[in-house]
């Protein structure tokens, strides 16, 4: 059983030319099923319903998605215009994580050089993502130990920022994995992450597979867990980090950040540099994905709100830089709450 969110399967696809293989995360943790993606409709659908998800994994999906579109173009005789439009559909399949557009844009200029060049570049995007995640995890673990002064850490995390959200290793869960490899994790509280339960279904699955002590808690329990002194830090991933250090991440992160500030414990955001969007000055520019209300009014396919009650379902929120104690990328750790900016300029 592969734990990876996605892979290029060199043996799959028409005439064995290779195809994108995605682990369908909507079915986890009970069913492990892969999708072989050979057309843009299937890919856009997989991204939209979160079969593949998590910002860095979306970046790699975007890059490999260009190859999927090129293969379909060859099969169906598309002209350049059609190919451009279909690649745009992949790029725009979800708006908040900058990595998706970044992954597409990283390889798209190579299209005139042909499929082999695009595929090679897309596979490099995946390799570099794993390397970045490992390095940022090491840097973040060092920072957390120094900042908290603790010998073993009790960590709270929100959503899933693990292997399943990246090409490999993970970001926030990569930090946990790094600490665990050093024998320094005491306990992890995983917020369940309503409405789609990425914490309960995915983070808990990864932690259980690693044998890391953990529990799932309702999102509404997080503030109290923090205020009761049950955790030493919160570690989360990100979908987009703007130049001033504002952070878009799974809805609910802002509440965790507020509680962390009140309790005086650090909120560390772990993300590869591909999640940093220096073109945006601050979080007010970030488009927050609004998903169908039924995801909130229903729970695993069963209606829990009265018939006729609509759901309000923003998928992400923006935590202002003043609440972000640290952002760890493979390039180092910056401290937005202390005035550090991601673009290196000073905050006055
Ligand atoms: O809607 P999702 O599941 O794609 O949201 C994912 C998150 O918010 C993650 O925390 C973020 O993408 C970082 S993943 C390393």
C-alpha 14 chain-centroid distance: 30
The token pair that represents 249 in the structure block = 């991440």
Write down how long the chain is. Answer: 348
Reference 341, options 242, 266, 273; nearest CA is 242
Q: How far is the CA of 164 from the centre of ligand 1 (A)?
A: 10
Give the contacts of 157 (CB within 8 A, at least 6 positions apart).
172, 173, 176, 188, 189, 190, 191, 199, 203, 234, 235, 236
Q: Which helix (H) or strand (E) holds 233?
A: strand 233-236
Strands 214-217 and 185-191: parallel
- On whether the CB atoms of residues 261 and 318 are closer than 8 A, the answer is no
CATH of domain 6-128: 1.20.120.420
Tell me the C-alpha distance between 218 and 190, whole Å.
9
Q: Give pLDDT, residue 345.
A: 79
Question: Residue 33 corresponds to which tokens in the numbers above?
Answer: 């099923």
Hunting for tokens 């209606």 — which residue is that?
A: 303
What angle do the packed helices 55-76 and 115-148 form, to 10 degrees?
Answer: 170
Which neighbouring-strand residues pair with 23? 34
State the distance from the centre of ligand 1 to the C-alpha of 76, rounded, in angstroms: 34
**Domain extent listing, the chain:** 6-128, 138-338
Could you identify the atom of ligand 1 that is nearest to the CA of residue 170?
A: 15
- Token pair 């794993």 is found at 130
Q: Who contacts 282 (Cβ-Cβ below 8 Å, separation ≥6)?
A: 242, 243, 244, 246, 321
| Catalytic (active-site) positions | 239
Does the N-terminal peptide bond of residue 27 adopt cis geometry, omega within 30 degrees of 0? Answer: no
Choose which residue among 159, 163, 313, 329 to substitute to test ligand 1 binding: the one with the highest number of ligand atoms within 8 A of its C-beta: 159
> The whole model's pTM is what?
0.97
Q: Whose CA is closest to 54, among 81, 31, 23?
A: 23
Spatial neighbors of 316 by CB under 8 A, at least 6 apart, are: 96, 239, 248, 249, 250, 251, 253, 286, 288, 289
- Cβ partners under 8 Å of residue 294, min gap 6: 311
**Ligand 1 probe mutation, 25, 28, 56, 249, most atoms within 8 A of CB:** 249
Nearest to 9 by CA among 48, 91, 64: 64
HSE-CB for 190 with a 13 A CA cutoff: 25
CA distance 185 to 51: 30
Ligand 1 pocket, residues with Cβ under 6 angstroms: 50, 53-56, 97, 159, 161, 165-166, 171, 198, 237-239, 249-250, 315
Closest CA to 274 of 88, 85, 119, 124: 124
Q: What is the pLDDT of residue 346?
A: 63
Domains 6-128 and 138-338 share a fold: no
pLDDT value, residue 300: 86
The CATH number corresponding to 138-338 among 1.25.40.80, 3.30.70.141, 3.40.50.10470, 3.40.190.10 equals 3.40.50.10470
Atom 10 in ligand 1: residue holding the nearest Cα = 237
The whole-angstrom separation of Cα 164 and Cα 206 is 8
Q: Give the ligand 1 atom nearest the CA of 316.
A: 8
Name 103's bridge partners.
none
Using most ligand atoms within 8 A of CB, pick from 54, 287, 313 the residue to mutate for ligand 1: 54
Tens-of-pLDDT digits for all 348 residues of the chain?
Answer: 348 999 999 999 888 899 999 999 999 999 999 999 999 999 999 999 999 999 999 999 999 999 999 999 999 999 999 999 999 999 999 999 999 999 999 999 999 999 999 999 999 999 999 999 999 999 999 999 999 999 999 999 999 999 999 999 999 999 999 999 999 999 999 999 999 999 999 999 999 999 999 999 999 999 999 999 999 999 999 999 999 999 999 999 999 999 999 999 999 999 999 999 999 999 999 999 999 999 999 998 899 999 999 999 999 999 999 999 999 999 999 999 999 999 987 654
Q: What pLDDT score was predicted for residue 1?
A: 35
Distance 93 CA to ligand 1 centre (A): 15
Which three-class secondary structure state does DSSP give residue 250? strand
User: How many whole angstroms from 112 Cα to the centroid of ligand 1?
Assistant: 32
pLDDT at 348: 45
Distance from residue 308's CA to the centre of ligand 1 (Å): 29
């Amino acid at each position: 059983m592969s734990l990876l969110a996605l892979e290029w399967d060199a043996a799959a696809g028409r005439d064995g030319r290779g195809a994108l293989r995605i682990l369908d995360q909507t079915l986890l943790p009970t069913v492990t099923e892969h999708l072989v993606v050979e057309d843009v409709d299937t890919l856009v659908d997989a991204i939209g319903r979160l079969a593949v998800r998590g910002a860095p994994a979306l970046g790699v999906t975007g890059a490999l998605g260009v190859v999927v579109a090129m293969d379909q173009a060859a099969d169906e005789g598309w002209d350049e215009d059609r190919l451009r439009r279909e690649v745009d559909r992949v790029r725009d399949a979800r708006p908040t994580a900058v990595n998706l557009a970044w992954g597409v844009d990283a390889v798209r200029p190579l299209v005139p050089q042909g499929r082999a060049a695009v595929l090679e570049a897309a596979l490099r995007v995946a390799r570099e993502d794993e390397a970045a995640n490992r390095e940022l995890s090491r840097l973040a673990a060092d920072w957390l130990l120094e900042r908290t002064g603790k010998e073993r850490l009790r960590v709270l995390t929100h959503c899933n920022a693990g292997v399943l959200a990246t090409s490999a290793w993970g970001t926030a869960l990569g930090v946990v994995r790094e600490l665990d490899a050093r024998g320094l994790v005491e306990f992890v509280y995983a917020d369940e992450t309503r409405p789609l339960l990425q914490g309960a279904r995915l983070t808990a699955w990864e932690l259980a597979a690693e044998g890391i002590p953990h529990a799932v808690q309702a999102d509404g329990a997080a503030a109290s867990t923090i205020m009761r002194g049950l955790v030493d830090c919160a570690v989360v991933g990100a979908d987009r980090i703007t130049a001033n250090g504002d952070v878009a991440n799974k809805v609910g992160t802002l509440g965790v950040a507020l509680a962390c500030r009140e309790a005086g414990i650090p909120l560390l955001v772990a993300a590869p540099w591909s999640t940093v969007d220096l073109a945006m000055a601050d979080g007010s520019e970030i488009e927050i994905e609004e998903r169908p209300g039924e995801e909130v009014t229903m729970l695993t396919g069963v209606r829990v709100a009265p018939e006729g009650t609509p759901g309000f379902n923003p998928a992400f929120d923006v935590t202002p830089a003043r609440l972000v104690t640290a952002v760890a990328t493979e390039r180092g750790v910056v401290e937005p709450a202390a005035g550090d900016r991601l673009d290196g300029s000073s905050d006055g």
